[in-house]
Amino acid sequence: MNLSERVFRVWEFRVSHDQLLIRSARTAQHPQNLDVIFAGVDYLELPTKLGEIEITSPMVDDLRKVQAAFREGVTERDVHVIVSGGRRFVVVAAKMTVVKNDLDIFESSLESF
């Protein structure tokens, strides 16, 4: 999933529900927020400012890296790879979704997820 022409940031992490929100806030060119939401987050390795992103499937090297850094039993279906600036970052989560919304900058889409 290519999410180019948007700038993304880590927006919120809810420890109590293991949820992560990565948002591209609305701008004059993009009148809606674009939110990438992860649920059941067990592990994440990414910077807070990402720029343009692409979400892709893990390669063998991604899986090995996560298994070495986090847990050997991690499977491919739980590893989500975010590519930004030519670098690969991982989020281990049970679920991921992408949504557009009109929420205010201080409102969270995690509340309705």
Q: Once rounded to an integer, what is the mean pLDDT over residues 23-28?
A: 96
Q: Once rounded to an integer, what is the mean pLDDT over residues 9-17?
A: 95
pLDDT beyond 80 at 55: yes
Q: What is the pTM of this model?
A: 0.93
Position 112 scores a pLDDT of: 64
Closest CA relative to residue 18, chosen from 84, 95, 89, 77 = 95
pLDDT beyond 80 at 69: yes
